[in-house]
Structure 1
Amino acid sequence: MVLSKYNGEWLQERRGGIIGAILNSVARSEQGFRVGRRGRRFPRNFKLRFFHWLVALLLAALFLLYFATFDLKLLSNGNEEENNLSLSQEVHQKISIHDAAVTPPKSKRRKQHFPCEVGLAAAVDNIIEPKNYMNFTEFSPEYVEREKNPLPANSLESRFGGYQTLKEREKSFVARNQTIHCGFVKGPPRFSSTGFELSENDKAYMSTCRVAVSSCIFGSSDFLRRPTSRLISEFSKKNVCFVMFVDEQTLSKLSSEGHIPDERGYVGLWKIVVVRNLPYLDMRKTGKVPKFLSHRLFPSSRVCHFQPL
């Protein structure tokens, strides 16, 4: 072992060939590293400054990451809203085009009203009217023709339905032979007519009807609808009475519209019956007379049907 001086220090030098040379080179490199490390010293507050810089960089990276994510969400939401808006506009446009293609143009002509279809037999040759009706109780009611009860003190005129007492009203619901108030009641001799006056010819015609179909127009409140002739058989035309009750005002309006009765009083299949001296000022109440009292207007009829217009 030999001592050698290197850079002012005594070093042990082991002479042993290759191994010794390797050890000597390692020793020299370590010595040089020590010398270099001694010459590069960091300031005392380097660690604190380095920590501050690291925290600042980390916060900046977090802010950049947050804003990048937020911008992506805004961009995606904006794209979704634009896509939804464009989709809704496209659907609305297609619906508008479909409606325009399906909806026919409105006609300026007046809408026609056709009768409802009723399933009837093709022929009426085999219809047989029953001779007796076992499901009905036979009784013969009579009706008050003239008011016999004294008029109330506060009444100055007679009424179309008469002055029925509460006791008479309770008895009228029982199906038995009795005399009841049922409209068309005449007042005492000194009083005027109660209304709904018909001509004798019209009364005679309606008393012969076995099957009646009636309707009414009062106060020009509606327009005339004629029964469709091609849908009604010849048998019905000969055996059914089609009666239209109108007042003078409605008759004048119908004539001005071209519905003028012929010499027999017909407009198409309708037999026009003029009613004078209407019993009520309210035309709706007057219209209830032919609707609910058809058995009084057609006393011989087996079937009465009121057809509203």
Structure 2
Amino acid sequence: MRQRRQDNIGISNLKSDELVHNSFVEMMFFICLAIFGLKMHFHGGISSLDHVEEELMVHNVSQHVSQQQRKKPHRQRYIPCEVPFIDSVNYLREPMDNNKFAHFYLGYAEREERISQNDTFEAHFGGHQTLEERDKSYHARSQTIHCGFVSGPDGFPGTGFELDEKDKKYMSTCSVAVSSCIFGSSDFLRRPTSKVISEYSKKNVCFVMFVDEQTLVKLSAEGNVPDDKGNIGLWKIVLVRNLPYEDMRKTGKVPKFLSHRLFPSSRYSIWLDSKLRLNADPMLIIEYFLWRTVSEYAISNHYSRHCVWEEVLQNKRLNKYNHTAIDEQFSFYQSDGLIKFDPSDPKILLPSFVPEGSFIIRAHTPMSNLFSCLWFNEVDRFTSRDQLSFAYTYLKLKRLNPDKQFYLHMFKDCERRAVTKLFHHRMDN
């Protein structure tokens, strides 16, 4: 029995040795086959692996370059240009009443009665202007027109943009006004650069910042608390209650376009969006853009777009507003005579049909006030994108009043950049 067991063990060991030997032979065979196969495949021996690695590196670099090319290019930088202001406000001489400017009386609709007895009637800040009333309002003549601040019938709630009586009294004393607004806490407070503002302007120009309650709370939390006179720096903070529109951008058009209504005694006004900081004396600005050019309204051209067709596409591309609403407005304007901007046309009325509306300088003349009301009414009726309605409003006003000139000065955008500093909106940060 012992001998048989030893024989079995010997046989088992022999088989194990054979298995190990066979496995070793098979492994060497596959290694040789792999090396031989590589040589056959690359026709250059093992050194050809370096070539493969180089090709992979080139491929990766090409992919990286391709991805870089697909990235959006950097925005073009727009730089300011020189604005030759006079040396001091001490040399200012306000021109006498210019007989070139059209003279007529404008009254404003203040109250509307119920149009019908149905239950759907709602009082509206801009009123319920009919298309017939709208067309008539474009004629530069003595008349009463819609221009915001329209109240409803007795028993209806207020239509909005309500101000404290003390603030209204203060604003009624302003002969020159610089104004801006922040609604919905959409921006930081940009104070005018005090060191470039003359003592004359600090004493004689009203700097008014319109805010809602949400913004006032936010500013206070950030340390911008009005002093005993209601000022933060040069800005007089004026609180607006009961905003007239849910769209904050549309609410912002009230102080932007209707400064002649908010400052009823003012002869001049400057508007700047809250994304801008004023970097020049307001009286020097008025002298340069209005008095020196004998103009009653001044606004800069857009920095890159000049045709409303382009502006429509850009607004839709960036989803600035509901596309259907933009299309309805644009179709209406085309049906009423809006034309494409053609820089080669020697009879073109403006250097651009698209403005950069963040900075406006105005004399409160009848024609300037009429244009401002008309432009506001377009924003009230259609979209808040005022760059879409500027050219239509201006061209229609000119077309219907061939015997009355409107002296609008469209200046270069680089000049706007020279007198203001641009920041991003708070929501963009």
Q: TM-score range by the shorter chain?
A: 0.5 to 0.7
Q: Distance in 2 between matches of 1:118 and 1:279?
A: 40
Q: 1:152 to 1:301 in 2, by over 3 A?
A: farther
Q: Select between 144-153 and 132-141 the one with higher mean Cα deviation.
A: 144-153
- Taking the TM superposition and a 5 Å limit, the aligned residue runs for 1:1-309 are 119=83, 120-148=85-113, 150-151=115-116, 153=118, 155-309=120-274
Q: Select between 230-239 and 250-259 the one with higher mean Cα deviation.
A: 230-239
- 1:38 maps to none
RMSD, matched Cα? 3.1
SS at match of 1:125: helix
> Which structure is larger by alpha-carbon Rg, 1 or 2?
1
Aligned pairs, number: 215
State the 1:242 CA deviation: 0.8
Unaligned runs of 5+ in 1: 1-70, 93-115
Map Cα deviations across residues 236-258 of structure 1 (whole Å, 9 max, x no partner).
21222110000111111111111
Q: Distance in 1 between matches of 2:121 and 2:130?
A: 18
Contact 2:183 2:248 in 1 (8 A): yes
Q: Select between 260-269 and 123-132 the one with higher mean Cα deviation.
A: 123-132
Contact 1:151 1:163 in 2 (8 A): no
Q: 1:250 to 1:117 in 2, by over 3 A?
A: farther
Greater RCO, CA 8 A, separation 6+ = 2
Q: 1:173 to 1:154 in 2, by over 3 A?
A: farther
TM-score (norm 2): 0.45
Q: 1:154 to 1:166 in 2, by over 3 A?
A: farther
State the 1:177 CA deviation: 0.6
Contact 1:158 1:186 in 2 (8 A): yes
Contact 1:151 1:158 in 2 (8 A): no
Q: Which amino acid aligns with 1:188?
A: P
SS at match of 1:202: helix
Q: Distance in 2 between matches of 1:189 and 1:152?
A: 14
Q: Which amino acid aligns with 1:250?
A: T
Q: 1:207 to 1:117 in 2, by over 3 A?
A: farther
State the 1:150 CA deviation: 2.4
Q: 1:191 to 1:118 in 2, by over 3 A?
A: farther
Q: Which amino acid aligns with 1:177?
A: S
Map Cα deviations across residues 48-104 of structure 1 (whole Å, 9 max, x no partner).
xxxxxxxxxxxxxxxxxxxxxxx99xx9xx99x97xx89xx9xx9xxxxxxxxxxxx
TM-score (norm 1): 0.61
Contact 2:89 2:198 in 1 (8 A): no
Contact 1:215 1:245 in 2 (8 A): yes
Q: Which amino acid aligns with 1:166?
A: L
